[in-house]
Every structure is written in C-alpha cells, then in structure tokens.
Structure 1
Amino acid sequence: MQFRPALAFALRRVAALLAMGACATLALAQPTAPVEPNASGLAGGLEQQVRQLALAGSQTAQPGAVRIEVQVGQLDPRLRLAPCQQVQPYVPEGTRLWGKSRIGLRCVQGTTKWNVYLPITVKVFGTALTATSGVAAGSVLTAADLVTAEIDLAEDNAAPITRTELAVGRTLARSLQPGQGLRQSHLKARQWFAAGETVTVLAQGDGFSVAGEAQALNPGIEGQPVRVRTESGRVLTGQPVGERRVELGL
C-alpha cells in the first residue's frame, strides 16, 4: 500500500508529459502563413535581396542597357511553408533573367527545409525603332513609319531593330501598333537567291577570309541555313546574307 502514492504521482507525471507532447504536436500541425516577399521584416529584407540578385544577373546578360527594372511578384497564396530563420534567394540553373522569369527561395535554416519559386518580371530598357502610327501587315515600311524611342527590350524574345536602313523597304509579316517596338519577327524574311543559282561563298576566320563560287541546293531565305555545292562537289551549309551571298562559319 505504501507504493500507491508514488504510483499515483508517477501516473500524473506521465499524463502531464503526454499532454505537453500533444500540445506541441498540435502546434506543429497548424499550417503556417505563406511567406510573402512583400511583407515587411521577412528575413531582413528578402525582397531587396531578390531585386539585387535579379538586377545583377540582368546586367550581366544585357551589358549597356539604359536601365533595368525588376518587378517582384507573389508566391502562390495556397503555399503553407514551415517557419524559417534564413531564406536564401538564388537563380535557378538555366534561368534567363529576361522578361517573365523566376527566382528560387530556399530555407537554409529551419526545422523543415523547403524550396519554392518566386515569379519576377525583368524589364530591360534600351533604344530601338518604334512605329509612329499603326502599320498593317503586308505594308512596306518607310522612314516616316518609324522613330527611335526607348522600349522594353525584354518584352519580346525577338531581336529589336535599331537601325533605320535595316527596316526601310522591308515588308511587314505582322502589324505594328502605335509606339510598338519593331522586332525582327515583324519583318517578312527575304529570299536572297533561288535554288540552282550560282552564289558567292565567303569563309571568314581569325585574320583571313576565303571566297569562292558554289551552286545553291535550296532557296536562300533570310535566317534559314542553306546548302551549297562547291566546284569540287563538296556540300557545305551556311547562312544567306545578301544577294547571292553565303557566309560559312568556321
């Protein structure tokens, strides 16, 4: 009988410990609020770290840009991430910081490690040709149709046209809106020669160039590779660059 008080005390102690454990388990099971990069005080200015990382990567990819702006988006509001004492932003492998892109966020110090992607928009401003007014597809561009202005180079993946002589006299493959930047994709591809024509083939290297003649095996369309047969019967592949002219890369 003398053991009953000790046994009762031990049982009460165990019950208390179990209750504490249940409370701790319940607290861990509660979903945490999503990490929002725009929230103040997150990891000592996480949004600013993201901006600086994206800005540095964009400047490397586009040297000489007039200015670069980074717009930080929001994480998926459905995310429920465990609390983290240190969140590290990084550029995912293979990511191009151009236009709509993303920055990785990973928890490097916390009870549960996690990794998510934050959407961003990188705007890279520079000067290029823009339309003074609306120009319909099929129109032949004139100097009056174009003016040089600042545009977001990253808004479109196609290369911008920056020199008037590269645009005037060209036919539009798709329409231009007033103020819209002129891109290579707006211009109808030119055919420099037909299959069977004799063309000049130019091979250039470090400090030398060699020219010769060959026969085109397919039409020489701007931006598309062309195959030519030399006088010796050798078949080469190059790029049509002008009237009956082909360049070979060495």
Structure 2
Amino acid sequence: MKNPSGFSTLLTMLSLTVGSVTSLAANAAISLDDLRNQVRQYIEQQVPEVEGTRWEIQIRGLDPRIKLADCPTPLAFKVSGNKPIARNSTIYTQCFSEQNETLWSLYVPTQIKKMQQAVTSVTSLSAGSIIEAKDVEVTYQDTFMLRNGFFSSTAQVIGSKTRQSVSSNQVLRKRSLCQVCKGEDVIVEATGSGLRIKTAGLALNNGTQGDTVRVQNKRSGRKINAVVVATGKVQINI
C-alpha cells in the first residue's frame, strides 16, 4: 500500500476490503490512544539512550473518526519506506491474522524531537552583566534548533560576562558571552612534562571555552596564543 499524500490516514483506512471491515467489526475496538502508545513505545525502542538527552515523540494526523478493530496478533510496526528513524517519520502499522494475512494497515505520521540539555537564562540580562548562579538554569531544548555554540552546564558560564543583551528563557550562545574578555586579567596555566605553572596575563581578545585567544604575559610582556579552558583561565602547552 502506498503512503497517501498529506498523511491521509483516513483514506488509508477506507481502502480496507469490505470483507475485512465486516470481520473486524465483530471484535473489540483498539482505541486511538492505545495505538498512539504502541507507536510511541516502538519509536522509543529505535532511538538511542544518551546521557543528557531525551526524546519527545508526537503522534500526528490521526483522524478521530478512524475506528480500529481489535487485532488477534500483536501489531507490527516499521518506518515507512524502510528508512531510518528521523525527525519526521511515518510509522507503517499492520494488523495480521493468525494465518499471517493482513487484516488492516495504517500510516501513522510522527514528529520525533531529540531534546538536549542547554543552559538557559532565567531572567533578562543586559550587556556587560556578570552571570551568577541565580541567572541561569539547565533546560531541555530541541537539538534541531540548538545547532552549535551552546553550553550544557551552568558551571561553564557562571562568572562569564554577557557581550550583548539576553532575553529571559533564552539559550545562552557562545557568541553572546566572553569567558575571557578583552582587556581583562586572566590566569595563564602552562602545562607539560609533568609541570604546571601559573602566571598572570591580559586578554587581548574575547573567547569562550575551546577558543584560541591572544594573551599578554603581564610579567614578561610576551604575547602568546592560549586556549580558553574556563572563565578567566587560559592554558598553553610547554
């Protein structure tokens, strides 16, 4: 059976043979809520479990006028077109008789959101604000909207300075903050061969964790490239 355009599940149901409909009508009905739950459980078995991530599964487009008869065997599910699970997947649902004959089938459109932990502002912050623990929280956000350049832990941003105004309930982006800010003092940590040396430096440009920034050693005046490892702290290898 071809997937009808526009996910018209009602038309799919109407394509059942008259004989099948008559036979099914005598059995107890499967509610649409039962079907939604079973489809959701099927999808949950297909998606990976990742720490700090959860999945939101929405069942869409089921016409409330659809009446499903009971199925003598467990319902069978597969992704339409034999494709991998994706953000918008249609789950092909089949009911088989005990003789393995198809009694009815149905296309169930779904939307599957991968939600990931991201640091979000609790209140609005003006440019130049120093972020405190009370200003931020971790929430789950749709990774489709997150893309790159966000933080997953509040420890990564506390003590940072906002480079631009931030609205309440807004995901904090790396471009919106500086953990090392131009013209401000930083700790320069030099590591290598089992040694760990710290000295004072001056940031010559802005950066967040993982960025390479220019730093001037306040003792020697030497300018070096260093990697931002935390708020107010950079690191070089020796």
- TM-score, normalising length from structure 1? 0.42
Larger radius of gyration: 1
- TM-score, normalising length from structure 2? 0.44
Tell which has more relative contact order, 1 or 2 (C-alpha 8 A, sep 6+). Answer: 2
